[in-house]
A and B are shown apart, each in its own frame.
Chain A
Amino acid sequence: MGDTLRCMEQAVLFCHSRVSKGLVREESVMQAIRVEALSKTFRVRRKEKGLRGSVQAILRPRTEEVRAVREVSFGVDEGEMLAFIGPNGAGKSTTIKMLTGILYPDGGRVEVLGIDPAKQRRQLAYQIGTVFGQKEQLWTHLTPYDNFRFFGAIYDITENETEKRIGELAERFELGEFINTPVRNLSLGQRIRCEIVASLIHKPQVLFLDEPTIGLDPVVKESVRSLVKQMNRECNTTIFLTSHDVGDIEKLCKRIIIVNAGQIVLDDSMEHLKYHYLHKKIVEVKMQEETALPQVEGITVLKQKGTNARLEVDTAVIAISDALRQINAEAVEDINISNVPLENIIMNIYKAEGKDLTEQAGNGQG
C-alpha cells in the first residue's frame, strides 16, 4: 500500500508539458513512461565456420559487442497510444523488455509510472500488463477461466474480485463460448484474446503489446484492435505497441516512434507523418490503347504493361490536376488515384535512416 502511494506521488511529480516537433502542448500531461539516454549492449559469441571454427571457439573464444539500444530518449503521456516500430533487430523488443523489467539497462534512466523497472520490478508488475504475441503466458492445458483465476492469484486479487473481473472481461471480449475450453484447443485468435484478458485482469495502467496480432487473420486482427481501442477509451490505458503490421499502427496509434540500429530515427504524430510523406500519389490508369505516357517533372512511371500503367505523382512538384491533364483523358478506360501506402513510407524511412546510421557509424569508426 505504501509502495503504491509512493509510486503515485512519484508519477504526479512527472506532470509536465510535452514539446514535440514544434508543437507545444499547453495542457499539463502526466507522463506514463519516461526514458532518458537508455542503452543496452549484448555480448555475442562469434565463431568461424566448420569444425575448426568450433575448436578455435573453445580454445580462444571471440566475442563481439552488439549495441542493441543506443541512448534512446522519449516520453509517453498517460492515455496515449504509441507505436514503437522498426525493422527486425532495430532494438524495439529490447527497449520494451527494459521498460517492463525483463532486461537490465546498461545505461540511462527508465521510469514507468514513476517506477524504475530495474529496481522495483514487482511494484511495477502490479501496474502494467504485457502481451507478447510470440510468447504465450497461459497454461495450455487449463481453461481460460482457470488461467484467469491463476493470474488473479498472481496479482493478489481476492477470489470474489477475480470472479467479478473475469465476468466483465469475458463479456467485453466475448469469451463466453470458449472460456471453459482448454487453451490448447482454442484457435490462435481466441488465444490472443485470452492472453489480452489475462494481462488486463489486474486493471493495468500501461499495456505493452509486442506484436499482438502476429499470425491472426484480418477479421480477428480488427477485433483485437477495436478491443484495445475500447480499453484505451474507457479506462484511459496507455498503450505501448510494437508491431510490423501497418494496420495496427495506422488504426490504433496517434503517435509513432521509428527505431533503427538502436536509435530513434523518427518521433512524430501520425497526422504529421502522413502530411509530410503523403505528398506522393499513385495513379493507376487503364488506357483504351497503348499510348506514350507523359515525360514531365514530378511524374514517374513506375510500371507500364500494355494498356495498363502505374504512375507516381509528386504533388509538391506538380498538382494532381495538372498531372491528370498530361494524360489523354479520352483514351482512359479506367483510373484510380490513391495515396502511397503507409507501409511504403515506413519502409523508405527504414531504408533511408538505416543507410544514414550505417554511414554515421562508419565515419565514427574511421
Chain B
Amino acid sequence: MLTAVKNQVRVCMLSVKYNIMREMLNKVTFLTNVTFMILNNGSILIQWFILFRLREDIGGYTMREVILLWGLTAASFGLSHILFARVYSLPELIVSGKLDSYLVQPKSVLLGVMTSATDISAIGDLLYGVILLAAGGLGVRGFMMSLLFVVTGMIILTAFAVLLGSLSFWFVRVDMLSGQMIMGLVSFATYPDGIFRGISRFLLYFVMPVGMVVYHPVHILVRFDAGMLLTVLGYACLLSVAAAAVFYRGLRRYASSSLMEARM
C-alpha cells in the first residue's frame, strides 16, 4: 500500500516536472509570462491603496487584511494552476474523449489527468501571493500557517474544479458553467466578505467555497480560532473525497471518441 502511494507520488512529480520542462523550453515567453502576471496582480493592489486612503475600513477589512486576502487567493490559485492546470479543462477532456491514455495506465486516472498540464504564468501568481503573505506582518508562525492555508485553498479550488468538471460525464456544455463558477470564485475571493450580505453571503460560504478558501483563513490569521481551522481542514478533505467520488462515478459513463489526438 505504502509502495503504491510512493510510486503514485513519483509519477505525479515526474509529470509535473516534465510539464514545467516543456513550458520552460521557450525561456523568453516563460519569463515574460511570470513577470507580467506579477505586475498585473500588483497593479490591482494599487486600487486598494487608493481606496484605503479614502476610508479606513471596507467591509470590516483594513489594508493588511486585504493584502492577506490577495496573498492567499493568488498563491492558492497559482499553486493549483501550476500543479493541476488540467482540471480546469476537464469538461473538454471528457466531452472530447481524451481520457483513454490515462485509463490504460496502472495509476490513478484522476491524478494522471490532474498533473498532465501546467499553467506557467501561475508561477507569477504564486510568487506574488507568497510575497504578499510575507509582507502581511504575520510573524514566522503566522506565515507558516498562511502557507498551510495556501495548500488548503489550492486543494479546495482544485476539488471544486474537479467536481464541476466531472458533471460533463452527465451533461454537455458544463464547461461554461464550470468556467464561470471558478472565475466567480476567484473574483469574489479578492473582496472582503463583510461587503456581502444575505443570499450572496450564503452563496459564498455554501455554494462557491470562497469562505473556505480565503475568508475563514484570513479571519484565523488575524485572530486564531481552532474550531474554524478544523472546519477549513475538514472541508478540504471532504470536498476532495466528494470530487474524486463524483469523478469516478462519472467515469463509468465515459464514452471515449475516435478523434485523433496527441499528448502535447
Of residues A45, A123, A142, which shows the largest number of chain B Cβ atoms within 10 Å of its Cβ? A142
Q: Mark A92-126, 1 if CB is under 8 A from B, else 0.
A: 01100100111110000000000000000111011
A155 to B100, CA, bound (A): 17
**B148 touches A (CB below 8 Å):** no
Q: Which of B100, B104, B107, B255 has the most CB of A within 10 A?
A: B104
Cβ contact within 8 Å between B22 and A139: yes
Q: B195: CB under 8 A from chain A? A: no
* B103→A101 contact, CB < 8 A: yes
Q: Given A136-B263, A141-B25, are A154 and B107 also a contact pair (CB < 8 Å)?
A: yes
Q: Classify the secondary structure of A's interface with B.
A: mixed
Q: Determine the chain A residues whose CB is within 8 A of the CB of B29 once the complex forms.
A: none
In the complex, whether A42 has a CB less than 8 A from a CB of chain B is yes
- Asked if A146 contacts B18 (CB within 8 A), the reply is yes
Question: Within 8 Å of chain A (Cβ to Cβ): is B59?
Answer: no
Least Cβ–Cβ distance between B11 and chain A, in angstroms: 5
A136 near B256 (CB under 8 angstroms)? Answer: no
- Please report the total number of B residues contacting A with Cβ < 8 Å: 31
B262 within 8 Å of A (CB atoms): yes
Q: Quick one: which of B211-264 are within 8 Å of A by CB?
A: 252-256, 258-264
Q: Which of B3, B106, B254 contacts A103 (CB 8 A)?
A: B254
Number of interface residues of A (CB under 8 A): 33
B254→A125 contact, CB < 8 A = no
Given the complex, which residues of A lie within 8 Å of B252, measured CB to CB? 104
Within 8 A of B (CB), among A29-58: 42, 45
For the complex, what is the distance from the CA of A154 to the CA of B108, rounded to whole Å?
10
Identify the stretch in A73-81, A127-135, A255-263 within 8 Å (CB) of chain B at 4 or more residues.
A127-135
Instruction: Decide if A14 is an interface residue (CB 8 Å cutoff).
Output: no
Query: Of B3, B18, B100, B262, which contacts A97 at CB under 8 A?
Result: B100
CB pair A125–B7 under 8 Å, yes or no, is no
Which A residues are in CB contact (< 8 Å) with B172? 45
What distance in Å separates the Cβ of B119 from its nearest Cβ neighbour in chain A? 16
Residues of A within 8 A of B258 (CB): 93, 134
Decide yes or no whether B14 CB sits under 8 A from chain A: yes
Complex contact A139–B263 (CB within 8 A):
yes
B43 within 8 A of A: no
Residues B90-140 near A (CB distance < 8 A): 99-101, 103-107
User: A134 touches which one: B261, B263, B264 (CB < 8 A)?
Assistant: B261
Query: Please, what's the 1-or-0 string for A314-337, where 1 marks a CB less than 8 Å from any CB in chain B?
Result: 000000000000000000000000
Give every chain B residue within 8 A of A142 (Cβ-Cβ).
18, 21-22
A49 to chain B, nearest CB (A): 19
- B21 neighbours in A (Cβ, 8 Å): 141-142
Residues of B within 8 A of A100 (CB): 103-104
Q: How many A-B residue pairs have CB under 8 A?
A: 80
Residue of B nearest to A155 (CB): B106
Residues of the A chain whose Cβ atoms lie less than 8 Å from the Cβ of B106: 122-123, 125-126, 154-156
Distance, CA A153 to CA B11, complexed state (A): 6
What residue of chain B has the Cβ atom nearest to residue A126's Cβ? B106
Residue of B18, B22, B99, B262 contacting most chain A CB atoms (<10 Å): B262
User: Contact at A102–B256, with CB atoms within 8 Å?
Assistant: yes
- In the complex, A156 Cα to B21 Cα: how many Å? 22
Contact in complex: A102, B103 (CB < 8 Å): yes
Evaluate contact between A135 and B18: CB separation under 8 angstroms.
Answer: no
When C-beta atoms are compared, the residue in chain A nearest to B264 turns out to be: A140
Complex: how many Å from CA A134 to CA B261?
7
Are B256 and A154 interface neighbours, CB within 8 A?
no
- Cβ of A150 < 8 Å from any Cβ of B? yes
Whether, in the assembled complex, A138 has its beta carbon less than 8 Å from a beta carbon of chain B, the answer is yes
Complex Cα–Cα for A132 and B107 (A) = 19
A125-B101 Cα distance, complex, nearest whole Å: 11
In the bound complex, residues from chain A placing their C-beta under 8 Å from that of B53 are none
Give the CA-CA distance A269 to B263 in the complex, in Å: 37
Is there contact, CB below 8 Å, between A136 and B11? no
Q: Which residue of A94, A137, A146, A153 contacts B263 across the interface (Cβ within 8 Å)?
A: A137
Given A102-B100, A139-B263, CB of A153 within 8 Å of CB of B14? yes
7 residue pairs from A and B, CB less than 8 Å apart: A102-B256, A136-B261, A136-B262, A138-B263, A141-B18, A141-B22, A150-B14
Seen from chain B, the residues whose Cβ lies within 8 Å of a Cβ on chain A are 3, 7, 10-11, 14-15, 18, 21-22, 25, 99-101, 103-107, 172, 252-256, 258-264
Given A93-B258, A128-B104, A134-B260, 5 additional A-B pairs, CB 8 A: A101-B104, A139-B22, A140-B262, A141-B25, A146-B18
